[in-house]
Amino acid sequence: MRFISSLFGILASTSFIGAGFTSAFAADETIRSLAEERGRFIGTILNSEWFNDNIEPEFEEIHKTQFNVVVAENEMKFDATEPKENVFNYTKGDKMIAYAQANNIRVRGHALAWHSQVPGWVNDYKGQKEKLLKVLKNHIDSVVGHWKGKVAEWDVVNEAVNDEYNAGWRSQGSVWYEGIGAEFLDSAFVWTHAIDPKAELCYNDYSLEWGMREKSKASFVVEQVKRWKKNGIPITCVGTQTHIEIAHETTPQNVRDFAKALAELGVTLNITELDIGFPKGSAGKLGAADYAKQGHLYRQFMDVFLEEPNMGEFVIWGLTDAHSWLDEQQGKTEGLLYDKQYKPKPAFDSIMVSLKSHPAAEVKTPYTFAKDTTANDTTVRDTTVTDTTAKDTSNAIAKLRGLQKFTIHLAGRTLFITGTSAKPSTVELFDMQGRPVFSAKCENGSVDLKNITEGLYVARVHAGSASYMQRAVIK
């Protein structure tokens, strides 16, 4: 795979020489390879044209060479997956999952509860609360169940905040809010978690990059996340879509501030739909300084992404300017990393420069598994927020499930490992941001955790070639 990637890189770089844009990087360096070294995920969508086998061959080659996280542009949305009541269509989504698995790419699921791209039959139940609750639950049960273990992260709720700068939910034009009320959000998170407890669960929205002013969308979302966390609603991440324009120079710093606010709540921030468009009228008139400015903005976002430890995914809403919703629907243009001929733009180089100027050793990751050799293995992270074992500590013993090879018991402040012949074992603790807080050798079957602050952690135990992760509640 590595050889194939390198080979493609060589071919691709060769073909770019003499064209409008040239890339300054060695052929075997890709965004993907640098992202993986840093324990991060950088990706783009698969456009609807890819699903319809109506896209240039360069698209997929570049996609799987350069990126390690993928989202379906439209094919996992409600109208695509349940076009008729209780009749599900997973064909296109399955095609993407197969592609992702074949190329070891992480999958974001987009989106479960959204007011847009809802089929007509749902709107026929407008205002019928009990029926709509059943419809939404059935949709989540089926869709999340179908892709359980294959979708690492879901946009559980998309764009539920209104645009009126009055810090409130979207109360008009949303069949879910109008029929059910704000509880549809809480329910959607709980139902999704019940079906796939290992999936990360996001609230995703646009205009969050406009800062945390009073009554802004970002401030409102932070308040809701506080409430969700307090009430045990299993949210693990927020997605800032970040569809911006070349003039929006303050937005990277706003995203940094937003990430910091969410870090305090133990929640990851992902950039989920970035594009940095020029006004459509400028098409054909853009020069080197314009593309350099676009590159500078991309770089600023990548700098923020790599420097904030609770950011995990950086997703661009399209790969090539030849296929972009900006031209089709937005009156904007040329917002992506590759031009219409699939040549990398200065923005591509800017992303590479940012990655290279943040050494892997200095980049933290919110994913405890992500710098392992199993960089894309999402099965080991348990993102459960509410921990039932915590309620069972009256006898001071919490039993943590182990692999068949060994069992882990926490008794008071002592962690016991039994049933393994492979010694010594190493025990590590990570906080819920994935930061290492403790590491010790376990020479005689137990480790003393008396200096660890009370709280929720992830423990990783290595025994021989086996390693196992589980939540640990230190009381």
Residue 59 or 367 having the CB closest to ligand G3I = 59
- 154 lines the binding site for ligand G3I (CB under 6 A): no
Residue nearest to ligand G3I (CB): 325
Count CB neighbours of 362 within 10 A. Answer: 10
> Annotated catalytic residue: which of 73, 75, 273, 428?
273
Contact 145, 108 (CB under 8 A): no
- 153 lines the binding site for ligand G3I (CB under 6 A): no
User: 363 by DSSP, 3-state: which?
Assistant: coil
Closest CA to 38 of 370, 303, 315: 370
| Three-point CA angle 283, 334, 326, nearest 5° | 100
Residue 156 or 398 having the CB closest to ligand G3I = 156
**The pair of three-digit structure tokens given for residue 18, joined into one six-digit string:** 């003499």
> How far, in whole angstroms, is CA 265 from its chain's centroid?
17
| Three-point CA angle 221, 76, 314, nearest 5° | 50
Considering only residues 13, 28, 29, 48, which one is a binding residue for ligand G3I as defined by CB under 6 A?
48
- Give least dist CB 52 to ligand G3I, A: 9
- Give least dist CB 71 to ligand G3I, A: 9
# residues contacting ligand G3I (CB under 6 A): 8
Considering only residues 147, 184, 298, 325, which one is a binding residue for ligand G3I as defined by CB under 6 A?
325
Count CB neighbours of 61 within 10 A. Answer: 17
d(CA 274, CA 311): 14
Residue 99 or 206 having the CB closest to ligand G3I = 206
- 89 lines the binding site for ligand G3I (CB under 6 A): no
273 is catalytic: yes
d(CA 404, CA 195): 24
- 91 lines the binding site for ligand G3I (CB under 6 A): no
- Give least dist CB 144 to ligand G3I, A: 18
Residue ranges of E strands in 196-263: 200-205, 237-240, 243-245
- 240 lines the binding site for ligand G3I (CB under 6 A): no
- 418 lines the binding site for ligand G3I (CB under 6 A): no
362 is catalytic: no
Residue 101 or 116 having the CB closest to ligand G3I = 116
> Annotated catalytic residue: which of 159, 308, 313, 334?
159
- Give least dist CB 160 to ligand G3I, A: 12
d(CA 263, CA 310): 6
d(CA 195, CA 199): 9
Residue 71 or 449 having the CB closest to ligand G3I = 71
Residue 117 or 379 having the CB closest to ligand G3I = 117
d(CA 333, CA 325): 9
- 51 lines the binding site for ligand G3I (CB under 6 A): no
d(CA 168, CA 79): 26
- Give least dist CB 53 to ligand G3I, A: 14
**The pair of three-digit structure tokens given for residue 70, joined into one six-digit string:** 């993928």
- Give least dist CB 280 to ligand G3I, A: 15
- 273 lines the binding site for ligand G3I (CB under 6 A): yes
| Three-point CA angle 403, 457, 358, nearest 5° | 105
User: 88 by DSSP, 3-state: which?
Assistant: coil
Residue 244 or 363 having the CB closest to ligand G3I = 244
The site string for ligand G3I over 59-78 (x = CB under 6 A, - otherwise) reads: --------------xx----
- Give least dist CB 153 to ligand G3I, A: 15
d(CA 203, CA 227): 13
Q: Which residues bind ligand G3I (CB under 6 A)?
A: 48, 73-74, 116-117, 241, 273, 325
- State the catalytic residues: 159, 273
